[in-house]
Chain A
Amino acid sequence: MSNKQDDIIICRCEEVTLGEIREWIAKGYDTFDELKRVLRVGMGPCQGRGCRDIILREIAKMTGKPYAEIPPGRFRPPAKPVKLGAIAKAGEAE
């Protein structure tokens, strides 16, 4: 049962499985930002919109800490991916 669960892909942008996430939480990487750095979860185009919550819950479950106490990790701009060409051109128009 748990093996099957381990194969579930949690971060679709970077194709990271629940098993990998569990393995690194067990090694002590029990904040979202540490998991992000070691597994790239939340670094893809969706910036963690799809996986952050599931991962925070998994951390809470494995460490026994309340969900509300797990730092949610840092959000970085831009909120949505923007084309390099569009930004370069926007500057010229000014």
Chain B
Amino acid sequence: MTWKNTADAVIVGGGIQGCSIAYHLAKFGMKNVVVLEKNTVCSGSTGRCGAGIRAQWGTEMNCRFGLASLEKFEQLHEELGMDCGLHQGGYLMVAYKESEFEQLKKNIALQNKLGIKSRVVTYDEAREICPGLSADDAVGFTYHNRDGHADPFLTTFAYQEAAKRLGVIFHKFTECMDVKVENGEVKGVSTNRGDIYAPVVVNAAGGYSQEVAKMAGVDIPNFSERHEIIITEPVEKGVCPPMLMSFSGNYYIQQRPHGSIIGGCSPEGHPEDYTCGNSWQFLEKMSKTITKLLPRTKGIRVVRQWSGLYNMTPDRQPILCEADNVKGFYLSVGYSGHGFMFGPISGELLAQKILGQEPRISIEPLHYKRFERGELIIEPAVV
């Protein structure tokens, strides 16, 4: 790929966020958009994620983001010209405590008000949705049939390919080493391959967002936490049609359209470093959880185990804004465990903001200034 040292916008990071932002900027008419990826596209958190997508959330903002993203996923194949592996088997939320179930019911009321057709279901209904489910110890369930899964690789590559057709340039094995700022305005970036001058630089560096922010002199409270996950060999359809998710049970388990079953949970403590190692403890804990919930999985083999980074903020909600002290420096970071599903909508909204338009869903509450002001967005529904 030939190197040009000027651009209208430079995006740092080729995950779902960077690719979606690049695509939307080009779609809305921006000409010279460049994406820098220090490794290869989709090698970061996006390529390591569970790829669940849902609208069953507990805050108005997340419900709006979740629903808007689902709507985009439902027509993504058509829009981007590539199958993104969308599978809408629903999310079946499982509560093991009365207080948890009360919260899920409150979430359902909010979701219904916002047009999300989620509902409380009985154990019998839950077992119709997920045959073979064994959850006698659960106190309640909720379900939304439009939730589900999309292939994280194909979705990201579909954005990349569509963006390329619109003229976006992707540089892989290209690392942003510094962000140039003069008089409170961004001027461009330095990379291991040379400089690029641009009036807009977007930090979409996932687990490394705090480092890229620091290059621009922008202080954000993000940190990265390692989360582990396993996948089984592909088996016949119907072993776990919906995403099974529980906050107190600490798990998410889902069968992909391809037949393999993925499962993950939150780590104990906060493993905060950039290594993506694997532990025997996790493998054992997850195997117990899966075989208890779905006894028929005992004979199914695990084929791979890996881990990836959750980029965390104090309220586990993203930062989506322009920096207040560096004009032209934008951030789309801190997505914790739900940055894949929000990719389609957050990319559109940030592109609108960059182009001086009014984002169709307000992103004002997602400025990092909220942490100073104490206006945290506490979401009750996260694993």
Contacts and interface: CB of A to CB of B under 8 A. Distances in A.
Interface of A: 27-28, 31, 33-34, 37-38, 40, 43-45, 47, 76-78, 81-85, 87-88, 90-91
Nearest to A84: B287
A88 B40 contact: no
A87 B47 contact: no
Interface residues of B, number: 32
B288 interface: yes
Contact of A82 (B47, B297, B302, B306): B302
A49 to B, nearest CB: 12
Contact of A84 (B40, B153, B170, B298): B298
Nearest to B234: A44
A88 B288 contact: yes
B253 to A, nearest CB: 11
Given A45-B301, A76-B305, A84-B297, A91 B42 contact: no
B85 to A, nearest CB: 11
Interface string B270-306: 0000000010000111011011100001111111111
A85 B161 contact: no
Given A77-B278, A91-B288, A84 B232 contact: yes
Contacts of B40: 31, 33-34
B240 to A, nearest CB: 12
B303 A37 contact: no
A31 B37 CA distance: 14
Given A78-B305, A91-B288, A84 B300 contact: yes
B301 A91 contact: no
B59 interface: no
Interface of B: 40-43, 47, 153-154, 157, 161, 170, 232-233, 258, 278, 283-285, 287-288, 290-292, 297-306
Contacts of A38: 153-154, 157
Contacts of B41: 34
Nearest to B231: A43
A45 B285 CA distance: 22
A18 B42 CA distance: 23
Nearest to A87: B287
Among A27, A40, A76, A87: residue with most chain B CB under 10 A: A87
Contacts of B283: 78, 87
A81 B303 CA distance: 5
Contacts of B232: 84
B268 to A, nearest CB: 15
B162 to A, nearest CB: 13
Contacts of B153: 37-38
9 contacts: A27-B161, A34-B40, A40-B258, A45-B303, A76-B305, A77-B305, A78-B302, A87-B284, A91-B285
Given A33-B40, A37-B42, A45 B233 contact: yes
A37 B301 contact: no
B303 A44 contact: yes
